[in-house]
Structure 1
Amino acid sequence: MSLLAFVLIIISAFMHATWNYLAKRSNGGFAFVWLYTAISATVYAPFVIFLLIYQNISIGWLEIGFIAGSAIIHLGYALTLQNGYKIGDLSLIYPVARGTGPMLVAIIAVFIYDEQLSPAGIMGIILIILSVFIITGGLRVLKQSAAIMPLGYGFLIGIMIAGYTLLDKGAVSVFLISPLLLNYGSILGQLILLSPYARSHWKDVRSDWKSHRKEAIGVGVLNPLAYILVLTTMVFTPVSYVAPVREVSILIGAIMGMVLLSEGFGLRRIVAAGIMVIGIVAIALS
């Protein structure tokens, strides 16, 4: 993995953990998702207009198909994530989701994109997945009935993460669709799909804007930017490496949950964090 790819992913990880913290703090649902999606569409519109005018980019049925598919999966991911955060801790759901996703990506990418993993890369991926397992409490957490539902949400979100990661990897690296265009098109698609609900529940939208304006703006700005950096990295880096390394955001998110949301951390998660760092270094050096 190149130094540029590594730096872009680490910056993206900080942004990703931050917007997930803001989303968790909002405790919002459909209305909040529509709100931050509308903000994203507004903030990034000038950049997309500039791209279309000066890059002479054509949009055909292939591009529309990828954008529509990405929008549907991302919307399902966003809504499921918000529902999960209503019933479970950020420091539990976030690691499970972000650990399941790259594990599936690393396995499937070998078959879909014919990616080759070095021994160091394989070891790094295994260590990251192991660290996620430790962070979430391992098999012991399954004995806690209150954790079953959050874990279910975490695994479901992880499957969606793998879905849109693999789809978007093909879009930007195989069919060379602009990362900014792909992400913005997905945002517009989500906004269109959610607008009928927002219109019929406008009181909820106004209430979320009044109570969680800062969180909505933060998510609206950071969510697309974090993913644009990842998409850009996937243009020249195997997705089986990109997906696991960006999960350093798990460590950042767990620390945020501990410090800002008063969620427990403990020795177990400190050990897991150390294993994750070793895994990330192994992939970076591979």
Structure 2
Amino acid sequence: MSLLGLALVLAAAVCHATWNFQLKRIGGGPELVWLFSALTVVIYAPLALWVLATQAPVFGPEQILFLAGSTGLHMAYFLLLQLGYRKGDLSLVYPTARSTGPLLSTSFAVLFLGEILTLQMALGALCIVFGVLMLTTGGRVKGQRVSTSLLFGLAAGGLIGSYTVWDAYAVSVLLISPLLLDYVSSVARVALLTPVALSRRATIRVQWRDHRAGLLIIALFNPLAYILVLYALTFTPVAYVAPTREVSVLLTVLTGSLLLGEGQLRHRLTWAVVILAGMGVLVTS
């Protein structure tokens, strides 16, 4: 993995952990997704217009299909993640999703993009799975909240694996601009969720009044985190990029346990390190 690719993905991990912390802290449903997506559309509009003007991209049927598919996968991920954060713990839902995601991404990349899976990659994947199981259950499933967090995390991980490979093909083979791919997804989310937003105008006003700074952070860092990853995917295989992103797991475990009072810091940090060790094995293969 090149130094540039590594730098892009590590920067993306910091951005990703930051906006996820703010998302959990604010709380909400589809109206919150609409609100930060609308802010994203406004903030990134000048950059999107600049790309259109300077690159003059061509959108044929295949490009349009992949733009639409990416939009659907990402919106499903956001809505599911929001529900998971309301029902479970950030430092359980997020690490589970972010650790199963690269395992599935790598598998899908082998199946659909022709990437090669080595023994070292397989060993790293097994280490990740074991770390996730111990992080979320400690070998035992206790109570509804733990099992609920695990299920939401696994479902979100499935969507992460799907959209990572889908988008990797879009930017590396179809040559869709990473910024435009993410921007179109934001615009579509705003359009599709507008009926929900109109029915929850009072809630949106309260969220904007009480959490303006956090919403602006989400609107800025959410697309930035993924745009950085997409640029890395234009010259780096999924099997390297997807696991390296998971540095954000440690950051999120720390914020969930320390700043949100979810507790169990020693236990969760120990197994988060095991997960990262598995990712390290994957990255160096």
**Which TM-score band applies after superposition, normalised by the shorter structure?**
over 0.9
Superposed CA offset, 1:235-275 (max 9, x none): 11111221122111111100111121112234332332332
2:96/2:157 contact within 8 Å kept: yes
2:94/2:252 contact within 8 Å kept: yes
Alignment match, 1:107: 107
Alignment match, 1:158: 157
Root-mean-square deviation (CA, aligned residues, Å) is 1.6
Query: Partners in 1 of 2:259 and 2:164 — Cα distance?
Result: 29
Determine whether 1:217 maps to 2:216: yes
**Partner AA of 1:122 in structure 2:** A
- What's the offset of the Cα at 1:138? 4.1
Alignment match, 2:19: 19
Query: Partners in 2 of 1:10 and 1:281 — Cα distance?
Result: 13
Superposed CA offset, 1:112-157 (max 9, x none): 11101344333333323332222212431x2323322222211111
TM-score (normalizing by structure 2): 0.94
Task: Among all aligned residue pairs of Structure 1 and Structure 2, give the percentage whose two residues are the same amino acid.
Answer: 42
1:77/1:157 contact within 8 Å kept: yes
Q: How does 1:35-114 map to 2 (within 5 A)?
A: 35-114=35-114
Pairs aligned (count):
285
The range that moved more, 73-82 or 123-132, is: 123-132
Query: Partners in 1 of 2:108 and 2:165 — Cα distance?
Result: 8
Alignment match, 1:170: 169
**Partner AA of 1:162 in structure 2:** G
TM-score (normalizing by structure 1): 0.94
Give secondary structure in 1 for the equivalent of 2:123.
Answer: helix
- Structure 1: 5+ residue stretches without partners: none
- What's the offset of the Cα at 1:280? 3.3
2:254/2:269 contact within 8 Å kept: no
1:128/1:244 contact within 8 Å kept: no
Determine whether 1:123 maps to 2:123: yes
Runs of 4 or more consecutive aligned structure 1 residues displaced over 4 Å after TM superposition: none
**Partner AA of 2:175 in structure 1:** L
- Structure 2: 5+ residue stretches without partners: none
2:100/2:157 contact within 8 Å kept: yes
- What's the offset of the Cα at 1:207? 1.5
Query: Partners in 1 of 2:32 and 2:167 — Cα distance?
Result: 25
1:172/1:179 contact within 8 Å kept: yes
